[in-house]
A and B are shown apart, each in its own frame.
Chain A
Amino acid sequence: MNNKKDMILQVKDLQTYFKTDEGVVKAVNGVSFDLRANETLGLVGESACGKSVTNLSIMRLIPTPPGKIAGGEVIFEGQDILKMSDAEIRALRGNKISMIFQDPMTSLNPFLRISTQLSETIMLHQGLSKSEAHEKSIQMLKVVGIPSPEKRVNDYPHQFSGGMRQRVMIAMGLSCNPKILIADEPTTALDVTIQAQILDLMRDLKDKFNSAIILVTHNLGVVAGICDNVCVMYAGRIVEKGTSEEVFHDPRHPYTKGLLKSIPRHDQEKKERLYSIEGQPPNLINLPACCPFHPRCAHKSNICTQQYPGTVKLDDNREVSCWLFQSH
């Protein structure tokens, strides 16, 4: 992440909070990362670690009565997205930055035809006429591998299978040639074989459409398969950053180590117990400002319970947030 010229997105110290009756949930608590053109960045972590909320914050899709983007900057094309007007951000969504979601069953409007849902984005952002947009929709369906696209474009979502629906979502996401495609757990709801197909599709299309991808997942296998760089998240913070190769072969943060150790290996002795990290992720309500991982950490020391370790740059690429790598 050193080539500043190629930088298309810079997230700086993003903080998103939610007000609940029991207190404030700091879902995203100081997240920073950069994204270069054509890069595939993975955001990995357990459920409720803040990875989805990070993406929704970038798109400013956080519902604002309970939620609030409390601080930070998201720089895209020289402007801070968090300070844009509503009209400006709407011009970005679906156009320069697209997002596809986890559950294709519920993420498509069951009451509208696919043609309507595809064409409306194209007509809105690219100014095409209805028939032109319709043609382009058929093209997009072909690109994502839907057979007989001219016929199927007039169908309703419930007439597609799960994998097909996700392809349709990808088609919608890429239809306006976005610079960034944010994919929020795109394969989690699908069968393993379909997962592989969808990931292959995304890899091909990324090159074809020249988009960068932010891929959110809890599946390390997916990260290894398709991501150039990876950010590991825990309790609303990024605990480790690096290229996927480096992070997989040489994890630094105790949490990352634990994650990798938890992956069952086929060359493991059958009699050994499967490893899992002890304990549970913390309750994010009124979480004090210490290291959130310390109750589950084998290497914890006193300072871990009192202060949050800032981000330490290890060498050009690697970053870790852990007291093991800092003097105190």
Chain B
Amino acid sequence: MTKFIIKRLLSIFPTLLIVITICFFLVRMAPGGPFDLEKTLPKVIQDNMKKKYHMDEPLWKQYGRYVTDLVFKLDFGPSYRYQDHDVSYYIGKSLPNSAMLGIIALSLAVFLGVGVGIISALKQNTLADYIPMSIAVIGISVPNFVVGPVLMYYLALKWQWLPTSGWIMEGGPKTIIMPAITLSLVFFAYIARLSRSSLLEVLRSDYIRTARAKGLSGRVVIFKHALKGAMLPVVSYLGPAFSFIITGSVVVESIFRVPGLAKFFVQSALNRDYTLLLGALIIYSSILMVANFVVDVAYSFIDPRISYK
């Protein structure tokens, strides 16, 4: 078991290196550069700026420089656009906010989704099934940038129960509610549907029939025997779900003005701020890789066929 975990953990590093490389060259692919958007400066000054940021060197050299700085000094470099601080500073300030929002949203989605899914499966074809599942279909059909503003309109503007925007520092914990709901809705819907169909399928298996044939009560059959197998697809889904939550946060953070990391994606890409963009990308990829790793380990805890060879 531990061998499996260690093996999996170690495989993260080469993947990370490949991801950094891909991102580095990807980001440079676009036409134009970070300083083209400034007012046209005399060529001498432009050249000096380029020298300062080593942009006069051949690309592979810049790549080497970047990777060594990153790996040995954890230095993401200076932001090309926002010249007050370097990239680590901006990431450091915004990452915790995005992380908090993402974790809360995902936890909400998992706990509510699994709970609702199980109830729907057990009460199949009754109202307790139709109602949640209809809400779930709505959840996967309506995009988060419709849900967000609608929520904001009713809860904040019309009925004034919640503040329109802002974050915990100034607004208090109430500010998390709408962004969290907006971000988590589609995942809640998906997980509810997934849990339901997965549990229904497991309940049809032979080994559940065996459990019933042994005289075990309904509750024991469901919670001791069926649940583990039923949760496997949900656990598998959590890996890609992390990725989608990151994407979703781009919209949600912008609508509710959450000071998170997601805004840097669009902005830095438009600004050609290579280092900031790269930094954000790498951080998110690392988080994804760790998340996938945790998911794989969790999966192997549930399914002994994976780790016990």
Provide 9 A-B residue pairs closer than 8 Å at the C-beta atoms, listed in order of the A residue: A91-B215, A94-B215, A98-B213, A101-B206, A109-B211, A110-B305, A156-B305, A156-B308, A172-B210
Q: Considering the chains assembled together, what is the distance between the CA atoms of A125 and B224 in angstroms?
A: 17
**Would you call B128 an interface residue if the criterion is a C-beta within 8 Å of the partner chain's C-beta atoms?**
no
Given contacts A94-B213, A109-B211, 11 further A-B contacts (CB under 8 A): A61-B209, A61-B212, A61-B213, A98-B214, A99-B213, A106-B206, A107-B209, A110-B229, A111-B229, A111-B304, A172-B210
Q: Considering the chains assembled together, what is the distance between the CA atoms of A158 and B306 in angstroms?
A: 10
Residue of B213, B216, B220, B228 touching A111 (CB-CB under 8 A): B228
The list of the 3 closest CB pairs from A to B, nearest first, reads A94-B214, A93-B215, A94-B215
Give the residues in chain B near A90, CB-CB below 8 Å: 215-217
**Would you call B225 an interface residue if the criterion is a C-beta within 8 Å of the partner chain's C-beta atoms?**
yes
**Would you call A159 an interface residue if the criterion is a C-beta within 8 Å of the partner chain's C-beta atoms?**
yes
Q: Considering the chains assembled together, what is the distance between the CA atoms of A315 and B97 in angstroms?
A: 87
Instruction: For chain A, residues 101 to 127, give those with C-beta under 8 angstroms from any C-beta of chain B.
Output: 101, 103, 106-112, 120-121, 124-125
Q: Is A125 in contact with B215, judged by CB distance below 8 angstroms?
A: yes
Q: Is B207 in contact with A106, judged by CB distance below 8 angstroms?
A: yes
Give the residues in chain A near B224, CB-CB below 8 Å: 112, 120
Q: Considering the chains assembled together, what is the distance between the CA atoms of A109 and B302 in angstroms?
A: 12
Q: Is B212 in contact with A159, judged by CB distance below 8 angstroms?
A: no
Instruction: For chain A, residues 4 to 41, give those with C-beta under 8 angstroms from any C-beta of chain B.
Output: none
Give the residues in chain B near A94, CB-CB below 8 Å: 213-216
Q: Considering the chains assembled together, what is the distance between the CA atoms of A172 and B210 in angstroms?
A: 10
CB distance from A151 to the nearest CB of B (A): 14
Binary interface encoding of chain B residues 296-307 relative to chain A, with 1 for a CB under 8 A from any of its CBs, else 0: 000000111100
**Would you call A312 an interface residue if the criterion is a C-beta within 8 Å of the partner chain's C-beta atoms?**
no
Give the residues in chain A near B228, CB-CB below 8 Å: 111-112
Task: List the count of A-B residue pairs having beta carbons below 8 Å apart.
Answer: 74
Q: Is A121 in contact with B215, judged by CB distance below 8 angstroms?
A: yes
Q: Is A121 in contact with B214, judged by CB distance below 8 angstroms?
A: yes
**Would you call B83 an interface residue if the criterion is a C-beta within 8 Å of the partner chain's C-beta atoms?**
no
Q: How many residues of A contact B (CB 8 A)?
A: 28
Give the residues in chain A near B220, CB-CB below 8 Å: 120
Give the residues in chain A near B206, CB-CB below 8 Å: 101, 103, 106-107
Q: Is A106 in contact with B214, judged by CB distance below 8 angstroms?
A: no
Closest to B305 in A: A158
**Would you call A141 an interface residue if the criterion is a C-beta within 8 Å of the partner chain's C-beta atoms?**
no
CB distance from A214 to the nearest CB of B (A): 13
Q: Is A120 in contact with B216, judged by CB distance below 8 angstroms?
A: yes
Q: Considering the chains assembled together, what is the distance between the CA atoms of A106 and B211 in angstroms?
A: 12
Closest to A113 in B: B304
Q: Is A108 in contact with B308, judged by CB distance below 8 angstroms?
A: no
Q: Considering the chains assembled together, what is the distance between the CA atoms of A98 and B216 in angstroms?
A: 12
**Would you call A201 an interface residue if the criterion is a C-beta within 8 Å of the partner chain's C-beta atoms?**
no
Binary interface encoding of chain B residues 78-116 relative to chain A, with 1 for a CB under 8 A from any of its CBs, else 0: 000000000000000000000000000000000000000
CB distance from B307 to the nearest CB of A (A): 10
Q: Considering the chains assembled together, what is the distance between the CA atoms of A188 and B212 in angstroms?
A: 22
Give the residues in chain A near B303, CB-CB below 8 Å: 110-111
**Would you call A247 an interface residue if the criterion is a C-beta within 8 Å of the partner chain's C-beta atoms?**
no
**Would you call B205 an interface residue if the criterion is a C-beta within 8 Å of the partner chain's C-beta atoms?**
yes
Q: Is A124 in contact with B216, judged by CB distance below 8 angstroms?
A: yes
A interface with B by C-beta (< 8 Å)? 59, 61, 90-95, 98-99, 101, 103, 106-112, 120-121, 124-125, 156, 158-159, 169, 172
Q: How many residues of B contact A (CB 8 A)?
A: 22
CB distance from B223 to the nearest CB of A (A): 12
Q: Is B214 in contact with A172, judged by CB distance below 8 angstroms?
A: yes
Give the residues in chain B near A120, CB-CB below 8 Å: 214, 216, 220, 224
CB distance from B231 to the nearest CB of A (A): 10
Closest to A106 in B: B206
CB distance from A95 to the nearest CB of B (A): 6
Q: Is A93 in contact with B304, judged by CB distance below 8 angstroms?
A: no
Q: Is B207 in contact with A93, judged by CB distance below 8 angstroms?
A: no
CB distance from B220 to the nearest CB of A (A): 8
CB distance from A179 to the nearest CB of B (A): 14
Q: Is A101 in contact with B210, judged by CB distance below 8 angstroms?
A: yes
Q: Is A108 in contact with B210, judged by CB distance below 8 angstroms?
A: yes
Kindly name the residue among B210, B213, B225 whose own CB sees the greatest number of chain A CB atoms within 10 A: B213
Residue of B205, B213, B229 touching A93 (CB-CB under 8 A): B213
Binary interface encoding of chain B residues 194-215 relative to chain A, with 1 for a CB under 8 A from any of its CBs, else 0: 0000000000011101111111
Q: Is A92 in contact with B215, judged by CB distance below 8 angstroms?
A: yes
Give the residues in chain B near A158, CB-CB below 8 Å: 304-305, 308
Q: Considering the chains assembled together, what is the distance between the CA atoms of A106 and B212 in angstroms?
A: 14
CB distance from B302 to the nearest CB of A (A): 7
Q: Considering the chains assembled together, what is the distance between the CA atoms of A104 and B229 in angstroms?
A: 17
Q: Is B212 in contact with A93, judged by CB distance below 8 angstroms?
A: yes
Q: Considering the chains assembled together, what is the distance between the CA atoms of A108 and B209 in angstroms?
A: 10
CB distance from A124 to the nearest CB of B (A): 6
Q: Is A109 in contact with B214, judged by CB distance below 8 angstroms?
A: no
Closest to B207 in A: A109
Q: Known interface pairs A61-B209, A107-B206, A108-B210. Does A95 touch B215 (Cβ–Cβ under 8 Å)? A: yes
CB distance from A236 to the nearest CB of B (A): 21
Q: Considering the chains assembled together, what is the distance between the CA atoms of A112 and B214 in angstroms?
A: 15
